[in-house]
Amino acid sequence: MDLVIRDADVVDGSGEPSYRADVAIQGGRIAAIVKEAAAAGCQRPTARRVFDAEGLVLSPGFIDMHAHSDLALLRDPDHSAKVAQGVTLEVIGQDGLSYAPVDDRTLAEVRRAITGWNGNGDDIDFTWRSVGEYLDRLDHGFDGEGIAVNAAYLIPQGTVRMLAVGWDDREATPQELDTMRQLVADGLREGAVGMSSGLTYTPGMYAKDAELTELCRVVAEHGGYYCPHHRSYGAGALEAYEEMVELTRNANCPLHLAHATMNFGVNEGKAPDLLALLDDALASGADISLDTYPYTPGCTTLVAMLPSWASEGGPEAILARLKDDGTAERIRHHMEVVGADGCHGVPIEWDTIEISGVSDPALASYVGRTVQRSADERGEAPWTTARRLLLDDSLGSTILQHVGHEENVQQIMRHRVHTGGSDGILQGDKPHPRAYGTFPQYLGRYVRELGVLSLEECVAHLTSRPAARLRLPDRGLVREGHRADLVLFDPATVAAGSTFETPRTLPAGIPHVLVDGRFAVEDGRRTDVLAGRAVRRTA
């Protein structure tokens, strides 16, 4: 064997009780599992290397069901933000906006639109245009050696609409709908695992349910799933969840609800209403799963808070509207009085909007302050401050939005179809700590400290359950023949190091991480192993 991990406390991802075992690895796969090997006195597996795991839990590698590492995987071979958490697979292409499929025009547009998520991409060689070419680029990674962790890709519906329709708020023509169907089908055939939407982001939000249903039918025909950031997480959140359940029921398409939160004051204490809706749908035969991050604040871009009519036409049109005093006043009224759809139908509270990152370093003084605080320091109205920042930073600013409820977070994470997703935006001087801390936060705070989940339950939420959604038959469990993507952690000390004050601090208590049977983290240090590849959809 290549490696034997001896005397590990195996939490195998099934949710069943842990057991003591030796686990042997050969050729990137688990070759043998010998339970209670030391006590039984049986012949123990041997290998070129024997690793003593006494006192450590061995589990499958964690699967981040909602990641924004689309360019980070190609920019940063270290990628410790995820590897150090025990993440061995990320699902990217989220929220309906990413970098494939594109043409030259839409590549430039999408790079501009999501600078706040992934940077402007000036340091990336965009050699691809199709989904397949992007996945091939991930396979090649750095000098042909691969990337830090494995990655699965969702076709971004907003980018697809950008290609076929543009940035107009209108229904697609029959020909444009056919083009979108073909783009989605091509991406799935090339290896995407499903389709995402960002239904509070332009231009994807301009799609009516009939259009989305047609695209979801294509997704279902090819064995994928639909992952919407739906139309509201605030006012009308329950109706927005119900809309997605009904839409995918009509399309006969599996549904995975992205960052399934119930935020803002209007939804305090309403997690049971969401869970009842899901339970009713599951009981009637619906195929539904969801992901959450174990924190209360959200994270997005400042421009995403604008009303959708102000975003029609794309980034240049937004900037032109912001420069016009009359139009800017209309935007302010919608945001502060009416409740813009970009802010989930809730009038914006500027003291909950904290600037977490800027594209222009000259604007760094805004970072770590709420818009309200920056406005107070300048002696001006908060919209004046926000408008100036949007213009000066060319829409590239990211925010933390402090609008969540701990009770809702805990109740949703207990649900039987729950999985873990960081929604981790790695850009900015002060990113959300979930980018560096989601998985140890689950294990440390919500398992050990609060007892919201048992260790075995939690590991199942982070491993086998997402692998089943992704239809990956050889991942997510410690089983003979499965991929040797594994994590060794100390259940007594595992904890997120990242905080809102120091968000880039790496976790504690996760000394070893293996990707494809090779140590990507060893003794708490990142190695030079680049064993990650694109994980393509299987039939």
In contact, 157 and 195? CB cutoff 8 Å: yes
Per-residue confidence (pLDDT) for residue 538, from 0 to 100: 74
Burial pattern 106-140, b for ≥16 Cβ within 10 A else e, equals bbebbbbbbbbbbbbbeebebebbebbebbebbeb
What dihedral angle (degrees, nearest 10) is formed by the CA atoms of 186, 192, 197, 201? -90
DSSP 201-231: STTGGG--HHHHHHHHHHHHHTT-EEEEE-S
In contact, 409 and 446? CB cutoff 8 Å: no
Non-local CB neighbours of 100 within 8 Å, separated by 6+ positions: 93, 128, 129, 130, 131, 133, 134, 153, 159, 187
288-292 and 19-26 beta bridge pairing: unpaired
Radius of gyration of the chain, Cα coordinates, nearest whole angstrom? 23
518-522 and 525-526 beta bridge pairing: antiparallel
In contact, 97 and 114? CB cutoff 8 Å: yes
* CA neighbor of 427 nearest in space, from 192, 33, 75, 22: 75
Residue ranges in 430-496 assigned as alpha helix (H) = 434-441, 455-462, 464-469
Burial of 75 (0-12, 13-18, 19+ CB in 10 A): middle
Neighbour tally for 177: CB within 10 Å: 18
Output the pTM of the full model: 0.95
In contact, 456 and 464? CB cutoff 8 Å: no
Per-residue confidence (pLDDT) for residue 145, from 0 to 100: 93
* CA neighbor of 371 nearest in space, from 340, 335, 405: 335
What dihedral angle (degrees, nearest 10) is formed by the CA atoms of 525, 528, 531, 533? 100
The residues pairing with 388 across neighbouring beta strands, listed in sequence order, are none
E strand or H helix that includes residue 166: none
How far apart CA 162 and CA 315 sit, in angstroms, is 13
Neighbour tally for 539: CB within 10 Å: 5
Non-local CB neighbours of 204 within 8 Å, separated by 6+ positions: 96, 97, 156, 157, 158, 161, 197, 198
Per-residue confidence (pLDDT) for residue 457, from 0 to 100: 98
Per-residue pLDDT of the chain (539 residues; tens, 9 = 90+): 999 999 999 999 999 999 999 999 999 999 999 998 766 667 888 999 999 999 999 999 999 999 999 999 999 999 999 999 999 999 999 999 999 999 999 999 999 999 999 999 999 999 999 999 999 999 999 989 999 999 999 999 999 999 999 999 999 999 999 999 999 999 999 999 999 999 999 999 999 999 999 999 999 999 999 999 999 999 999 999 999 999 999 999 999 999 999 999 999 999 999 999 999 999 999 999 999 999 999 999 999 999 999 999 989 999 999 999 999 999 999 999 999 998 999 999 999 999 999 999 999 999 999 999 999 999 999 999 999 999 999 999 999 999 999 999 999 999 999 999 999 999 888 999 999 999 999 999 999 999 999 999 999 999 999 999 999 999 999 999 999 999 999 999 999 999 999 999 999 999 999 999 999 999 999 999 999 999 998 76
How far apart CA 361 and CA 437 sit, in angstroms, is 25
What dihedral angle (degrees, nearest 10) is formed by the CA atoms of 312, 318, 323, 326? 30
Give ∠ CA 341-346-257 in degrees, rounded to 5: 65
Per-residue confidence (pLDDT) for residue 41, from 0 to 100: 67
Per-residue confidence (pLDDT) for residue 428, from 0 to 100: 84
Per-residue confidence (pLDDT) for residue 42, from 0 to 100: 73
In contact, 169 and 206? CB cutoff 8 Å: yes
Site of tokens 């060689």: 125
* CA neighbor of 403 nearest in space, from 259, 265, 503: 265
Neighbour tally for 242: CB within 10 Å: 17
Domain positions in the chain are 62-299+403-469, 301-402
Per-residue confidence (pLDDT) for residue 39, from 0 to 100: 66
Q: What kind of architecture, by CATH, is found in domain 62-299+403-469? A: Alpha-Beta Barrel (3.20)
How far apart CA 359 and CA 396 sit, in angstroms, is 5
